[in-house]
Structure 1
Amino acid sequence: MMLSNRLTKLNHSPSAIIEGFVKCKENPYSRDNTKGYLNFGIAENHLMNDKLLPKINYPLKLDNHHIQYNDLHGLKEVRQTIKNFLENFLALKELNSENIVIQTGLSAVCESMSFAFFDKGDRILIPTPYYTGFNHDFTKRFECEFEQVHLHPDSNFAHNIKAFEETYLQSPHKDKIKAVLITHPHNPTGEVLLEEFMNDIISFCKKNHLALISDEIYALSNHQGQKHISLYQKAKEAGVDAHFLYGLAKDFSLAGLKVGIYYHEDQKMAQAMQSLSYFHPVSTHTQLLVQNILADTHFLKEYIPLNQKRLKEIPLVLETQLPMYKFIPTDAGLFMLLDLSEQCKDFAQEKQLYEKFLNYIKINMTPGEELGLKVPGFFRVCFARPKEEILEFIVRMKLFYENELS
């Protein structure tokens, strides 16, 4: 039996993100392998294991119904816990737990959305740089497409409504654009959106009859003590067709548990996503583990500010210890952008630089072309790594500068 054409197309030209991830997995840095690869190219949070592992290793009590088939879109009691959590910690209001959908990670949620709400060739406006895993989630199987909105490096890629308006008006596919996808806080810049822009993008969506998909998976990974303002909540109150996305992989460091959350106020929209949970159900054991975390208000009130404190410290260390490099300031998330644009006249030079990082000093970082950038020389640095890896990163980056860039 031969591989299908669908699979062949899916596996065509693996990205640098996958290439770097595989190399790091095959030969990872550790105290026993100090010459191994440092993986600063994947947005994982390794800072909170000391607090999380005791919590998730606490014995769970499963009842008879937990070991049988249940609602595929999530146990009722778990959806109620998620409702309470989102209202208390992410500033969402008056959610209906019946409209909450739980699937195996946010990638599964996005692919379900691609199937449920978009036909082949429909397009989504997305600002660049962006998390290009969305390409896999939305476009690979069900062939929705992205219309890229290019943000400018002169403003550190800050969101502005003019860029969206120009892209929309000039697009030859204008009639195919159905939605806007915003990640708030933003990946990869760590920008926390200003309320002015939030109001502008909501008005833009309303004026042009576009849905707004609000990915708020980094909502609680704010470094600057700012209280999260939900773009979804503001859009819903303004009467926009708003879709809310969240997950446990980032704020709660639980990427391996594969828990993604979808919400829409409209029952028909929620039911469409519920029906697709047949393909992406989360095990009852995992759901109960998540409930054990999200229902513990005392734990959350300790965990969230400590995580934010630890995330804030590392960019300061990197900027202090590596003054020869230019980092773009970050307000949230697990990453920051390294600006080496002066070293790269084009993307061929960016690729050469990426390969030197990967093969010479064995550091994996995400090159800007993989983030949808049109300006070469930017690299995403995912810094939420253990202390010994941060120190080794500093040593290797200093060595690289002395030998290659000075």
Structure 2
Amino acid sequence: MKLCNRYRLHLISDEIYGLSVWDNPKVKDNVGFTSVLSIDAAQFMDPSMVHVVWGLSKKLSLTNGLNKDFGATGIRMGCLISQENRAFLDSAEGISLFNFPSSLADNITAKLLTDDQAVDRFVSLNQSRLAESYQFVTNFLRKHGIPYRESNACLFVWVNLAAAVKGAPLSDEDILSKLSNEKVYVTSGSTYACEEEGWFRFVIAHPRNVLDEGLRRIASAVL
């Protein structure tokens, strides 16, 4: 905020995975989620230049907020919050007419987010299940000597499959081809502009039997 204030920059906080966090003592400086909205921005910068997005696609349109923290794939909803800048919200509202959500999705989202008890129950359960899935997946990775990045948030694990391949080195494309032959779909780091080859994103938000079978097939494909 102080940096934004110094250079008169808008602060845009993307909080799409803010509720999908858990405790992982192996993460250095392990911290939970703190929304920028919980900070008194006026102490550090012009509050009219502080904005929060919950769900932001690559095309800069607000989408998929419920898809992440609430697992509600298909409800194409996102939120833009700017508490001290009415003119900015009016401008955003004007362009949102071209991609506004359906009335059904709008109504479902409003009912969900205004039920504090239901939200608290769901978030707590989701966090505990993500933590369990993360532990299950990383135990497998360590057992098979597959490098990965420690994490305490999100629905994914960042994995270096290239470093675990036995025999001759394989390109990302070769690894993806081998995984495809086993009917396993993961995305390579190149999709996310990763600086190094060999990294892949594993989704861990699956039932245990799906994770178990998927990991077995991955091991069969590349180890």
Structure 1 length-normalised TM: 0.45
Q: How many angstroms does 1:340 deviate by?
A: 3.2
Distance change >3 Å, CA 235–CA 362, structure 1 → 2: farther
Give yes or no for the alignment of 1:242 onto 2:61.
no
- Residue-by-residue CA offset, 1:208-249 (whole Å, 9 max, x unaligned): 332222110111111218552113554844225222101211
Instruction: Give the SS at the match of 2:173.
Output: helix
Could you tell me which residue of structure 2 aligns to residue 188 of structure 1? none
| 1:61-80 aligned within 5 A | none
Matched-pair contact (CA < 8 Å) for 1:214–1:232: no
Distance 2:126 2:151 in 1: 15
Higher RCO structure (Cα 8 Å, ≥6 apart): 1
Could you tell me which residue of structure 2 aligns to residue 229 of structure 1? 34
Could you tell me which residue of structure 2 aligns to residue 208 of structure 1? 7
- Residue-by-residue CA offset, 1:294-332 (whole Å, 9 max, x unaligned): 122221221111100000011111122332112211111
Amino acid at match of 2:77: V
Give yes or no for the alignment of 1:253 onto 2:67.
no
Provide structure 2 residue ranges, at least 5 long, that are not aligned to the other structure: 25-30, 55-64
Q: How many angstroms does 1:284 deviate by?
A: 2.5
Give yes or no for the alignment of 1:297 onto 2:142.
no
Could you tell me which residue of structure 1 aligns to residue 163 of structure 2? 342
Q: How many angstroms does 1:342 deviate by?
A: 3.1
| 1:21-40 aligned within 5 A | none
Q: How many angstroms does 1:362 deviate by?
A: 2.0
Give yes or no for the alignment of 1:394 onto 2:206.
no
Could you tell me which residue of structure 2 aligns to residue 353 of structure 1? 175
Q: How many angstroms does 1:380 deviate by?
A: 0.9
* Greater Cα shift, 389-398 or 305-314: 389-398
Distance 1:268 1:316 in 2: 46
Q: How many residues align?
A: 197
Q: How many angstroms does 1:269 deviate by?
A: 0.5
Q: How many angstroms does 1:343 deviate by?
A: 6.1
1:364 aligned to 165, 180, 185, which one? 185
C-alpha RMSD of matched pairs (Å) = 2.3
Distance 1:350 1:231 in 2: 37
Distance 1:352 1:367 in 2: 11
Matched-pair contact (CA < 8 Å) for 1:235–1:242: no
Instruction: Give the SS at the match of 1:280.
Output: coil
The structure with the largest alpha-carbon Rg is: 1
Amino acid at match of 1:316: Q
Distance change >3 Å, CA 282–CA 401, structure 1 → 2: closer
Matched-pair contact (CA < 8 Å) for 1:343–1:377: no
Q: How many angstroms does 1:293 deviate by?
A: 1.2
Instruction: Give the SS at the match of 2:138.
Output: helix
Amino acid at match of 2:71: S
Structure 2 length-normalised TM: 0.79
Provide structure 1 residue ranges, at least 5 long, that are not aligned to the other structure: 1-201
Matched-pair contact (CA < 8 Å) for 2:162–2:199: yes
Matched-pair contact (CA < 8 Å) for 2:151–2:157: yes
Distance 1:286 1:401 in 2: 41
Distance 1:260 1:326 in 2: 34
Instruction: Give the SS at the match of 2:11.
Output: strand
% identity of equivalent residues: 24
Amino acid at match of 1:262: L
Q: How many angstroms does 1:203 deviate by?
A: 3.0
